[in-house]
Chain A
């Protein structure tokens, strides 16, 4: 690479690709991410789709984006704001300006910057002339024109030709980041495996983009993000929904119980159903039910027949499943309920993230209906918590709600691939055929769980159902004292899970001025903000909860060592309320956001500094 330009080495960089839904920005984003992975950067990505499949072209509502955060240092989130913005049209520029850092490099397709497009985007004045881009490094590339003339020799019509525009952009970026273009070419070859013509055209456009960048020298500086100092081993990128599905598949393999997923499509959880539907080769069965209720009821039936039963959904679906979760509580059958949260209530913000289903997960059912609630905190650890949800469900014979969210589900990050054989063992509470002492509601003294006799087993005929059960025998019973005992048993069983989960970790010293408390999908932004303040020498620590019910045994110890505690969550304070109830002797400050968006590191730091200043 011979370049006259200056190369700046960066610890981390955020790139945002934005255009019409049809501009292929998701693809270019993935291509750029894959290359970053191959050269050894740490990585976190987040796609940003419009909720309509094909919103009107050129409008702000139709802008589709893909944000990539790559780092030489460890990366925990897709980043607050972009260092480089690609805007394929004025709408993409308009939608993303506030998410772009001052002084950022903005690459635009100048061919789309005309009055017609300004009008569609709602610009009253030409944004290139009105001074709003002052201080930015704007690269005006004739992407459409250059692409069309490049592919002329392939005889493609303009429509098809325009679909390769995203490769021109990719070429620009490969040059800008000093990437070997071979990675980009390989990505194309794999993507269009059986379409040699498309491979040729796209590779040509990719190279043209690269050459164009080199020739015009419009970008005076280029960037280099060196490989991250990762531990050794095998890595891949993985999204939250994929990781959840794979964690469940791993649990099925390790427990020896075949996987059954009863589910109904719902954003942003559908990919779990799609992923499992494609895993019949691992023996997994998926059942796309007629509604949310049938999905969970079929799963409960499959659990009675001895399968690792799962249902996946989002908030409105969880509401519909409430009665059936109660049935699983009463029948004490293993069941995993994956709830990928989105903005609510009602249909709410289907494609946006939120953490507002916590209380619903904990309490959204009739009667005393305790279930285990756990929450994943990164796209990759959805694998771990999917696995753990299944392990707890089986070993403790209980429904387990695993909380994920739209941000984790669609985001992806680098993942150190584990060996499934190293995962903790799953001990299935089997009953031997013809066991003369078998009683359906006899309990294991360690876990207080009943045993799992499966329909079809010999000599273990029994009845389960939603009516209150008589202790030990499992016969239907309306006896007052028996009901008291059974309610207490079911609660004690769930609380007993505390003996089988790890203690709560504190990141940073276990005493100090401020303890930041989070749970679930907000981990990435919180840890980054806390670590940056720790580097500045602030007295701040961080406890991020993955086990919600039951809370880890040492929770009280974790909370007590600080002058202030602030609970940060994407809701109106549900976890703070829960902690207030469970650990009432402490006071909790709250930092809440309900905009359908994840926390920004900058706003968190601002808040934490504010609290710390009050203390000093």
Chain B
């Protein structure tokens, strides 16, 4: 664990619950995420007072009101900037950002790419429901091309972002994708995200039951999910499918889905997932995979640990303190050219 202060007795889910009513719509994917986070937090071993949840604006950003930790409900898009200040000021805190596709990919896009570039040790939970929910149904930067929404009555004419592409392009050190209907997967990934030293981004494919219901159904639908998703695990071959006989191979510089046992493909041909590979080329390809033709990658896609901003800053502060002859402001005021009138 990267956090200095551990709890004495183990906490339970109950410790992270609040009395406030949860005001998301019935059937919103948010409920499952909240419950899973409350389940996962005791496993991180960090006590409540050392956890801060920070959010921006949007449905997802109401999350902090429903969790019993320190909370900062910020401005639209600015959660990453606020969280950066909290973490840099006090690196002992475990800082979580809860955000949505509008908050993080549109108005907060700049802060997202820069927090990743700096690799500040915080965890980002991105609720991607591909729509603006709180403002009631306008398209977002992740809304699929051609979608009809309140602000695109004739269909959107914008290419959507894939959050993973941005994360890789910004040198994100941890990226994972999960589905709001699979609590077991979410919990595993949330705990790993918390353990990772550096900025962890978890894209949660979340359903908005009102404005974009079933937007992820091609990926998450009960009858298709095994064929349309691949749950990646570190050190294991990239196989998927109802019969676990499909896998990913690299051919001519591209990922390809093959069936083991067909066209002379064997298990040995299948790529083995390495989340720690410093080279993010394969990770980038994995984040880009989409239907049809390739399954959508789930689980931890990248978890490469490198230097963390606030640790380097703390180190510089310590070194500066050791090597200086100016230890107080009075000494600073009297350093350099001064002269005395007697």
Contact = CB atoms under 8 A, between A and B. Distances in A.
Interface of A: 34, 37-38, 40, 230-237, 246, 249-250, 253, 258, 260, 262, 279-283, 285, 287, 289-291, 293-295, 297-307, 309, 323-324, 327, 331, 417-421, 455-467, 475-476
Interface residues of B, number: 57
Given A233-B340, A465-B71, A294 B89 contact: no
Nearest to A262: B85
Contacts of A280: 316-317, 319-321
Contact of B65 (A303, A324, A463): A463
Interface of B: 20, 48-50, 52, 54, 57, 64-65, 68-75, 78, 80-90, 92-93, 110-111, 114, 313, 316-317, 319-321, 323-324, 326-330, 332-334, 336-342
Contacts of B87: 301
A250 B338 contact: no
**Residue among A260, A291, A302, A460 having the largest count of chain B Cβ atoms under 10 Å:** A302
Given A280-B321, A298-B82, A462-B70, A285 B313 contact: yes
Contacts of A305: 52, 85-86, 89-90, 93
Contact of A260 (B64, B72, B88, B330): B88
Contacts of A290: 110-111, 114
Contacts of B73: 463-467, 476
**Taking chain A's interface residues, is the majority helix, strand, or loop, or is none over half, making it mixed?**
mixed
Contacts of A232: 341-342
Contacts of B321: 280-281, 283
Given A249-B332, A304-B86, 13 more contacts: A34-B337, A246-B333, A281-B321, A281-B324, A294-B78, A294-B111, A295-B81, A300-B82, A301-B72, A301-B82, A304-B52, A323-B75, A456-B70
A297 B85 contact: yes
A257 to B, nearest CB: 10
Given A246-B329, A417-B334, A420-B328, A461 B70 contact: yes
A271 to B, nearest CB: 15
Nearest to B48: A461
Given A290-B110, A302-B88, A305-B89, A236 B337 contact: yes
Contacts of B341: 40, 230-233, 235
Contact of A297 (B52, B81, B326, B332): B81
B52 A455 contact: yes
A417 B49 contact: no
B54 A301 contact: yes
Most buried by B among A295, A297, A476: A297
A235 B74 contact: no
B250 to A, nearest CB: 35
Nearest to A296: B81
Contact of B323 (A281, A299, A465): A281
A25 to B, nearest CB: 20
Contacts of A294: 78, 80-81, 84, 110-111, 114
Contacts of B317: 280, 283, 285
